[in-house]
Amino acid sequence: MINSVLNTAWIFLFDREQLVASFIFLFAIAISIYICGVLVCRSLSKAGAILENSGNAKDIWMTRLFTLNGLAFYGTWCTIATLLNLVIVLQYVGLVDAYVCAWVALGILTLELICWFILETFIFDHHLRYCFSPYIVLLVAFSGLLSKQYDPAAPATYIYYVFFLIALSAVLAVIKVLVMIIKGCKNPIQYNHVMIEPTLSKEQEANSIPL
């Protein structure tokens, strides 16, 4: 609900060329998606044992493959769009050189990519092992940037860096898939270690009191 309201507000603000305000709202949209992803991970961690013990492990996989990857897909697009909006603000409001703006956006995106790979692979593997959609978005986005901006006759300097980012994204994507398969076979994620306290009714509590 909040994300939809922010999205609608951003469309009107960007259409009216309120560049700074539209950037703030788009940034808030991306943050709201991140929060949704955290809440989904926490809920799955709490309910995973119940789903496993009740024979509904397929719901765990549906959440991993569709819900988390869907949020990550949308969140990655919004992150890239936020950086594009930042470039517009810097160039047309801050009057910063266009090439400097491009390098700023690409530098931030590179840092986010590396941090994301480290976090999902080594720190939050239990939650994000099967979350692979961000790499799809990055490869498509970088390829689209090349198709629009690459001029073989006079390529801009940052275009070569985009080639590097495509290669980096592809390598990290391959590593992600390999880690996902190897860890999935050798060390599958289990939720049964979570202890669930049974809830007793008042009648059961009364009957359990020793006489």
Distance CA 23, CA 116 (A): 22
Question: Does the structure show a pLDDT above 80 at 43?
Answer: yes
Residue listed under structure tokens 């986010």? 112
Using CB atoms within 10 A of its CB, is residue 31 exposed (0-12), middle (13-18) or buried (19+)? middle
Which pLDDT score, from 0 to 100, does residue 196 have? 44
pLDDT band for position 197 (cuts 50, 70, 90): very low
* Entry pTM: 0.84
Which pLDDT score, from 0 to 100, does residue 198 have? 47
Largest CA distance in the chain: 93
More confidently predicted of 154 and 169: 169
pLDDT band for position 137 (cuts 50, 70, 90): very high
pLDDT tens-digit profile of 75-116? Answer: 999 999 999 999 999 999 999 998 899 899 999 999 999 999
Distance CA 192, CA 53 (A): 8
More confidently predicted of 202 and 120: 120
